Amino acid sequence: MTDIAIVAYQQSDCVSDAGATNEVELIMPVLQRTFAQAGLTNAQDVDFVCSGSCDYQQGAAFAFVLGVDALGAVPPIKESHVEMDAAWALYESILKIRMGHAESALVYGFGKSSPGELPIVLSQQLDPYYLAPLWVDTISLAAMQARMMLDQGLITERDMAEVVARSRRNAKSNPHAQVNGDVSADDVLAEETYVSPLRRSDCCPVSDGACAIVIATVEKAKEWGKPYAVIKGMDHRIESHNMGMRDITDSQSTRLAAAAVGVNDGRVDVAELYAPFSHQELILSKALGLGEETSINPSGGVLAGNLLMASGLARVGEVFNRIVAGEAERGIAHATSGPCLQHNMITVVEKA
Amino acid sequence: MSEEQDMITDIEVPINLKYNFTAGAAATRFLTQVKKGVLTGQRCPECAQVYIPPRGSCPACGCATEEEVELADKATVQSFTIVSIPIPNNPIQPPYIIANLVADGANISFLHLISECVNEDVHIGQRVQAEWKPEEEWTHAMDNIRYFKPIDEPTVPVDMIGKLPVTGLEG
Ligand SMILES: [Zn+2]
């Protein structure tokens, strides 16, 4: 298989409310910085462009089309979109390159989550016949998942609080983080519960923002002469919509995807996991078989800021950043979609 | 087994979601000017095209458009449709004309109505001008202009549509 090089990654700050800024205005500065990092002028300099976003966040039909205004699309570019996190746009772009239809691609994700009532908006991700009409919001479903884990003795509330404390601490070195600081597990446990057993800090914040990545064949990356990391593998698996049909205290799909890309065939220096709730990081770490040698969510993860539809791609970007900075040699990026870790994707990124 | 039941072939699941919609920085500046009875576009620093309503970017070049440009309320018909079928909840009674109009000084069209005309005589390249509502009714909306109506100026050749200066056909 052709290895794919990541040559650039940029993201906006995670902000709780981007205010009057529209999607194009969110994306454009991020794209400008991404092109500059890769030594490109605009989207004309890559062979393919793919974005990830979700119209439900904005509450407007075909909102994703407007994002194209940020690209410089004349003469016409080859462009596509996934109604998902941009990690899946990265997947599509990699397929495009591996099929020989492109040598380079720009992948970007964006979302304004602030305009709607996000947990309710996301309730519509459920199956439309039985679950979505009940309006079960995402936080309640996650709380049910955490409750089942606690009741089965798989985790403790302190385990969850320690995830939060580490995330906040790690986020102190992340200039784009929305929440950070020195918070101890005891501080978290002293908080009142929000949707029991979850406390507010067990839940990721609602964030607005965007991120972008440029990938290319290794040959092309060498030609561009920029530092790069290599995507060695990518796999995604999906489980049932129906909450009663799967064990939500575990993540089978993550385990399957991890096995398919050989996560444990080498040392994992860094793992960026898309865990919107603290207990989900514990599920994922276990499913991935991560040990002491792995630095989990050194960016603070999405508990420090969740650019919905860009957060999965951002996980890949965070691993890329650490590898080109020489802080890690091999890492994995995880992306999720759907309630209670329904759909999961694993990307293995290595030093060139 | 139980007695035979009617087959359920469909269910109704209405979705009601509330959003706090914001127009965006560029559109906000545009709407603020419309409230004052002024049409403004934004010019691309690279290709110099003027966009109305502006969205903050030049879709051709992919760069930010910052320079505000005041446009005329005279425009040219780029294309139009005579609507003969009523649309539910639309207060406008057919037949009426909806058109892509290019304001003088702009390079891209916006949608608006044409009225005070003989529908059958409306044509591409026709010159029209805004018929504004009384000033006290102006809000942050394009319907501060009731419609555009034909004016007595020569038809603009097709290859000139979208290329007129703000001073119009003779300018
Ligand atoms: Zn331009």
Contact between B22 and A20 using a beta-carbon 8 Å cutoff: yes
Q: Which residues surround ligand 1, an ion (CB under 5 A)?
A: B 44, 46-47, 58, 60-61
Please give the pLDDT value at position A258: 98
CB atoms under 10 Å from CB of B73, counted, come to 16
Q: Percent of chain B scored above 70 by pLDDT? A: 99
Of B13, B24, B61, the CB nearest to A22: B24
Q: What angle do CA A74, A77, A79 make, to 5 degrees?
A: 135
pLDDT computed for residue A274 by the predictor = 98
User: What's the sign of the alpha-carbon dihedral B168, B169, B170, B171?
Assistant: positive
Chain B residue with CA closest to A70: the answer is: B62
Element (H, E) at B148: strand B145-150
- If phi > 0 it is left, if psi is from -120 to 50 it is alpha, else beta; for residue B59 that is alpha
Instruction: Give the Cα separation of A105 and B51 in Å (integer).
Output: 28
SS3 content of chain B, % helix, strand, coil (to 5): 15, 30, 55
Asked if B13's CB is within 8 angstroms of A42's CB, the reply is no
Q: What ipTM was estimated for this complex?
A: 0.83
pLDDT recorded at residue A331: 98
Reply yes or no on whether the pLDDT at B1 is more than 70.
no
**CA-based nearest residue in chain A for residue B66:** A25
Between chains, do B22 and A19 touch, taking CB under 8 Å as contact? yes
Span from the CA of B61 to the centroid of ligand 1 (angstroms): 4
pLDDT of B13: 85
Q: Which residues of B touch A72 (CB under 8 A)?
A: 58-63
Task: Please state the separation of Cα A165 from the chain's center in Å.
Answer: 20
> CATH says A4-117+206-229 is which class?
alpha beta
Higher pLDDT, B21 or A177: A177
Q: Is B19 on the interface with A (CB under 8 A)?
A: yes
In DSSP terms, A333 is beta-bridged to A272, A347
**B77-113 as b/e: b if 16+ CB within 10 A:** bbebeebeeeeeeeeeeeebbbbbbbbbbbbbbbebb
Report the pLDDT value the prediction gives residue B84, as an integer from 0 to 100.
95
Say yes or no for a CB contact (<8 Å) between A133 and B27: no
In whole angstroms, give the CA distance from residue A54 to residue A86. Answer: 10
Provide the 8-state DSSP code for B158. G
pLDDT confidence of residue A1: 61
Decide if B65 contacts B26 (C-beta within 8 A). Answer: yes
Extents of the domains making up chain A:
4-117+206-229
Structure tokens at A235: 């796999």
Q: What is the mean pLDDT of residues B6-13?
A: 88
Q: Which residue of B has its CA nearest to A42?
A: B62
Q: What is the DSSP string of A27-72?
A: HHHHHHHHHHHHT--SGGGSSEEEEE--HHHHT-TTHHHHHGGGT-
Could you report the average pLDDT of every consecutive run of 10 residues in chain A (352 residues)? 91 94 91 96 95 91 87 94 97 97 97 93 87 92 98 98 98 98 98 97 97 97 97 96 92 98 97 98 98 97 97 98 98 96 98 96
B77-123 pLDDT, tens per residue? Answer: 999 999 999 988 888 889 999 999 999 999 999 999 999 999 999 99
Q: How many CB pairs under 8 A join A and B?
A: 88
Are the beta carbons of B110 and B100 closer than 8 angstroms?
Answer: yes
pLDDT in tens, B41-52: 999 999 999 999
* Chain A hits for B15, Cβ within 8 Å: 124
How many helices and strands, by DSSP H and E, does chain A display?
12, 12
| Distance (Å, whole) CA A348 – CA A231 | 6
pLDDT of residue A21: 87
Substitution target in A25, A122, A130 with the highest count of B β-carbons within 10 Å is: A25
